Every structure is written in structure tokens, then in C-alpha cells.
Amino acid sequence: MVRLLDYWRQNRAEPPDARAIFKAACPGQPFRKQDYYLLLSRFHKLAEQFLAWQAFQQNEQAHYTYLLQALRQRQQQPLFQRSMKKARSLNKPQDNHAADSLHFAYHLEREQYDFIDSHDRSKPTNLQRATDLLDAYYFAEKLKQACLAHTRSVINRETYQIGMIPAIEAEIKKRPSLLEHPAVLLYYACYQGVVVTGAQRSFQLLRQYISAYKEGFPRQEIRDLYLLAINYCIRALNFGDTAFAQEALQLYEESLEEGYLLEDGYLPESTFSNMVSLALKLEYYEWVEAFIGNHSDKLKPAFREALPWYTSAKLAYELGDTGRVLQLCAKIEARQPFLYLGTKTLQLKVLYEQEEWDAVDSLLERMRVYLQRHKDVGYHREHYLLLVQFTRRLLGLIPGDLKKVFELGAEVETAKTFREKPWMMQQISKKGKQ
């Protein structure tokens, strides 16, 4: 095994050569495929055991969970009590708010209960505390899953059935003390603010709790909570509540500044694009130009040219520089749906305003075919289908036909998922005045 590992370290950049591998690991033995595959199987199993052991060594909580169990089973009372004291010191509630800390605390109480029960059954036990901790852990995890499932269903149209949530809500109302645990408090606020009511008061409570408790949660969890709050704002914005633009951009800035939004050291392309869109909606044009210049190098290599061009084209459109818009769009070769459809939307708006009707018609057909072939655009698909449909009807409007103008305008205004309402209503208004 050691010789095989040494060979792999020295030659891992090369294509695997079965005979060379076997010769290095088993010098002097004749090569047989059966022996070679057995060698790899043994090595694979050993590697798995090492990775599991390494992870265990890095997890002090798991270490004490099994240590306490072993000491209790061996009736080592002084060692058990000493180890229990050390284990409890690892799990200070003021430093660690995550649900996993509740789970570890429950394990400690369970070991304590089993220890008391095995020594003197007449003594009062800690069973109530163990039960309360288990409830808190379970409720926090279920509420967290419900929040994550909601986001997945909105963005990717995935369907999940998260059971027990109504019972958990009822239990929390009966036992408000459960909200003394930050994990329960935070995910309950998230569930109430993002999934159930959408009320601004619940959402603002979530914002307060993230700020108050984020230091005690793993970075990945805080990142998920920031994204849940941001997605809520963007969803509200897409449904016409423009007040959430400033809130969403502020959340993005906070989480980016603190490093929560980076994935493997890269700024996600959706985050980059969303931040620019929000800033443009707020007319922060200088901010957008500086943001593109300062953060493009944080994008994955595949997006470092196309996405800055696209977002710069959006900025140019808002500034009225239509020539630069078309120039930048022509440089973009986009395979990703959001980039392709976003680029086509910019081209469509410019070409329509320039009254290039043949080009507009051709572009609409390309977008229709693209949407027909790509079903994986999530909830954005409905927006782009409406853009194609409304633009086609706009082209067919007879100037001055107020009845048809008002009908189309009413449909656009009531289309909740359509995000180009201001531009479309402006064009409809022009038809009514001609």
C-alpha cells in the first residue's frame, strides 16, 4: 500500500498504466488482472478508512461522544465526569448557535442520563433537559429544510414535502422558550418571513437575527440565510414591490464584504449580475461602473469576459448609449440561459426603439425557439415567454386603437412575473398617443 501511494504521488498527472502500477506496488510478482484489481480495491478501502479517521480526528464533538460512551460502559466514573466537564466546555451556547451544537448537547445529556441511570436509579435525572434539547435541534433542522426547500421550489421548480411543520409551529406557540435557542429563533423567523407570510415585519426580524447571531453559526449557514433573505427581496421585486431593491442590494453588499458569498474563492455569476441589476434599478450608475471594474476578476474564468460585457451593456442602455449596447452584445457568446436571454433582451429593446422591425421579428423568433428547447430556465422562463408574447402583440397594435392599447396595458400591469413592465408600458403608451 505504501509503495502504491508513493507511485501515485509521483505519477498522478499521467494516464494510469496498470502494469507499471502493479510492478511498483508488487515488485517481482507476475502481473495478473485479478491481482491488480484486488490491489486497487484494498487501496481504495484503506483510503476511505483514512479519510473517515481524519475527519473524526478533526471533530472534537464526535471524539467526546464516543469517549463518554466507552467510559460509561466501562464504569470509569472519575474519568467519565472529567471528560463530561471537558465536553461541556466545548459547547458554550454563547459561542455556537448552530443546530449541530444542540444535537451535541443532547448527546451529552443522553450520556449523562445513561450514566446516572446505571449507577443509581433513585436519583433525579436530566431526562427533561435531554428531551428539550432534542426538540430544539429537530425543530431548527426541520424549519431550515423548509426554508431551503422553498427557495429550491421557487428557483428550480423542484417539489419537496417537508413534514411536521404545522405541528412544529403549534408547539413553538405553546412553548415560546424554544425560541431562546438562536437556531430555532432564526429559522422560525426565516420560515415566517420568507416562506409563510412574506410580511415585512417578519422579514425585518430575520434581518435583525442574522446580524445579531451570525458570529455563532458556520459560515455556510449564514451564507444560506443571506441568500434566503436576498431571494425573498428579489422575488418581491419581481412581483412589483420596488421598495425591496435597496434592501436586496444592501444584503448583497453586507454578505459580499464579509466574504459569505464567495464559492471556492469565486463570486457566483448570478450574484454579480443581480447586484448590477439592482444598482441599475436604483440608478447607481457610478457604483455599477466601479463594481464591474473591481469585481470582474473574482468571477470564474468562463465568465470573466462575457459577464462584464453584458453588465456593461446594461449600464450603457440605462445611460442611453445604444450604439455601445449593440457593440458589446455582439461580442458576447453566451451558452448559459441567463446570459443568452439577457443579451437578447437588451438587443430587442434597442432594435425596437430604432424601429428595426425585421431584426426585431427575427430576434423574437430566436428567443421563442430557444425557450421551447430549454426547459431548465426556472421561474425566469415565464418572464421571457411573456416578453416575446407582449412584444409580438405590441408590434401588431394599430396606433391610436385605444381599446387594444388599454387591453394590452392592463395585461402587462397584472402579469406578476413580468419584469420589463416599465419599458413595455412606455412603448404601449407611445402607441396610444400616435
- Residues 144, 198, single domain; the answer is yes
Give one DSSP letter per residue of 304-349, joined into a string: TTHHHHHHHHHHHHHTT-HHHHHHHHHH----SHHHHHHHHHHHHH
- Residues 319, 341, single domain; the answer is no
- Residues 23, 102, single domain; the answer is no
Which pLDDT belongs to residue 434?
A: 66
- Residues 394, 347, single domain; the answer is yes
Provide the grid cell at 214.
451570525
Range of the domain at 11: 1-58
* SS3 at position 266: strand
- Return the CA Rg of the chain: 29
- Residues 346, 311, single domain; the answer is no
* SS3 at position 129: helix
Is residue 338 in a domain?
A: yes
Q: Which one of 306, 328, 350 terminates a domain?
A: 328
Is residue 71 in a domain?
A: no
Would you state the torsion angle of the CA atoms of residues 8, 9, 15, 19, taken in this order, to the nearest 10 degrees?
-30
C-alpha span between 108 and 267 (Å, rounded): 40
- Residues 424, 283, single domain; the answer is no
Q: How many domains, in total, are found in the chain?
A: 4
Residue 328: Cβ-neighbour burial (10 angstroms; 0-12, 13-18, 19+): buried
Is residue 114 in a domain?
A: yes
C-alpha span between 254 and 250 (Å, rounded): 6
Alpha-carbon 377 to chain mean position: 16
For 44-59, letters b (16+ CB in 10 Å) and e give eeeeeeeeeeeeeeee
C-alpha span between 129 and 197 (Å, rounded): 32
C-alpha span between 358 and 364 (Å, rounded): 10
- Residues 207, 290, single domain; the answer is no
Closest CA to 236 of 275, 198, 208: 198
- Residues 196, 292, single domain; the answer is no
Structural contact between residues 387 and 360, judged by C-beta atoms closer than 8 angstroms: no
Give one DSSP letter per residue of 282-301, joined into a string: TT-HHHHHHHHHHHGGGS-G
Which pLDDT belongs to residue 180?
A: 93
pLDDT in tens, 394-419: 999 888 788 899 999 999 999 888 88
Q: Give the predicted TM-score (pTM) of the model.
A: 0.73
Which pLDDT belongs to residue 198?
A: 61
- Residues 110, 221, single domain; the answer is yes
- Residues 211, 183, single domain; the answer is yes
Which pLDDT belongs to residue 175?
A: 95
C-alpha span between 225 and 151 (Å, rounded): 11
Q: Which one of 328, 349, 380 terminates a domain?
A: 328
Which pLDDT belongs to residue 364?
A: 96
Closest CA to 216 of 301, 309, 95, 323: 95
Q: Which one of 261, 293, 311 terminates a domain?
A: 261
Adjacent-strand bridge partners of 263: 266
Which pLDDT belongs to residue 194?
A: 85
Closest CA to 194 of 246, 248, 157, 240: 248
Is residue 230 in a domain?
A: yes
Structural contact between residues 127 and 113, judged by C-beta atoms closer than 8 angstroms: yes
Which pLDDT belongs to residue 93?
A: 60
- Residues 299, 257, single domain; the answer is no
* Segments in the chain below pLDDT 70: 93-95, 197-199, 238, 240, 434
- Residues 276, 381, single domain; the answer is no
Is residue 68 in a domain?
A: no
Is residue 270 in a domain?
A: yes
Residue 426: Cβ-neighbour burial (10 angstroms; 0-12, 13-18, 19+): exposed
- Interhelix angle 357-373/337-353, nearest 10 degrees: 160
Is residue 64 in a domain?
A: no
Is residue 282 in a domain?
A: yes
